[in-house]
């Protein structure tokens, strides 16, 4: 399949692990384990296609409210994934990044994440960006707090703050905004994910549960994206005049 246009940054809300397990009479952790295979498949496919940034919503701030045993299992799976995939990430030239309040992760998970980030820091082919202990509203509040402190210290004037400066204080500073946000399991909401960055992102919702989302489903999302006319708030005539997609 030849895509007419490839997104530079794809972000995915990986939803449906629990429902996948329930449908099969399995514990929720079985869905999370199978979901790791989808992560592996999508990361490899994104790298093969030449996508530059792939952001995965791996663990939200709200997920800390889940049962303690499930949270512990998720942290264990994070460590397992990082250990298993680190050699592959390095071979493929994939740089690992993380956004969110990662300092809240259990020490062993935080250490594994920090090690993987350090060992892939020189990679240049693709960025795999994990959203961990992440919340979009908390990210915006954090940026506002940092900017307020900068103003109080005289490093910045309030009238100097514009959208570009504000974006530089988000976790995603230096990354392009997502061109495409994919959500699995059919839910029609962003769930506090990349709220500032998604202002003009294309949305793709699929009923497929995350553990069943593999290369074919990923390609279907990219194919639909490639067929869309991105407007960025502009009319068709304005798009023609400005040369935007």
Convert the pLDDT of each residue in 25-39 to its tens digit.
999 999 999 999 999
Binding residues for Mg(2+): 15, 202
Give catalytic residues, as residue numbers: 15, 63
- pLDDT (0 to 100) of residue 2: 72
Confidence of residue 182 (pLDDT cuts 50, 70, 90): very high
Name the residue ranges covered by the structural domains of the chain: 9-134+177-242
The answer to whether residue 166 scores a pLDDT higher than 70 is yes
Report how far residue 72's alpha carbon sits from residue 239's, in angstroms, rounded to the nearest whole number. 49
Average pLDDT over residues 52-60: 98
What's the CATH code, domain 9-134+177-242?
3.40.1180.10
Binding residues for substrate: 16-20, 28, 32, 60-62, 64, 66, 183, 189-191
What pTM, to 2 d.p., does this model score? 0.93
Confidence of residue 245 (pLDDT cuts 50, 70, 90): low
Confidence of residue 241 (pLDDT cuts 50, 70, 90): low
- Three-state DSSP class for residue 128: strand
Q: In what order do the strands lie in the sheet with 53-60?
A: 94-99, 126-134, 53-60, 9-13, 180-183, 202-205
* pLDDT tens sequence across 4-21: 899 999 999 999 999 999
- pLDDT (0 to 100) of residue 38: 98
Report how far residue 77's alpha carbon sits from residue 85's, in angstroms, rounded to the nearest whole number. 12
Report how far residue 18's alpha carbon sits from residue 22's, in angstroms, rounded to the nearest whole number. 6
């Amino acid at each position: 399949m030849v895509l007419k246009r490839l997104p530079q940054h794809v972000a995915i809300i990986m939803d449906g692990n629990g429902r996948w397990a329930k449908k099969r009479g399995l514990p929720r952790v079985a869905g999370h384990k199978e979901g790791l295979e989808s992560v592996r498949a999508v990361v490899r496919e994104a790298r093969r296609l030449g996508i530059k940034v792939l952001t995965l919503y791996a663990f939200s701030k709200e997920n800390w409210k889940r049962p303690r045993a499930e949270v512990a299992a998720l942290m264990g799976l994070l460590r397992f994934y990082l250990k298993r995939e680190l050699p592959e990430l390095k071979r493929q030239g994939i740089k690992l990044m993380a956004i969110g309040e990662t300092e809240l992760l259990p020490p062993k998970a935080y250490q594994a994440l920090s090690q993987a980030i350090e060992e892939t820091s020189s990679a240049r082919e693709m960025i795999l960006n994990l959203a961990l202990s992440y919340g979009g509203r908390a990210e915006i509040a954090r940026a506002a707090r940092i900017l307020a402190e900068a103003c109080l210290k005289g490093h910045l004037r309030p009238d100097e703050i514009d959208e570009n400066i504000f974006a530089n204080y988000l976790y995603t500073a230096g990354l392009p905004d997502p061109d495409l946000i994919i959500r699995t399991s059919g839910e029609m909401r962003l769930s506090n994910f990349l709220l500032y960055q998604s202002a003009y992102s294309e949305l793709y919702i699929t009923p497929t549960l995350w553990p069943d989302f593999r290369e074919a489903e990923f390609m279907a999302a990219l194919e639909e994206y490639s067929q869309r006319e991105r407007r960025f708030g502009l009319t068709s005539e304005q798009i023609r005049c400005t040369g935007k997609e």
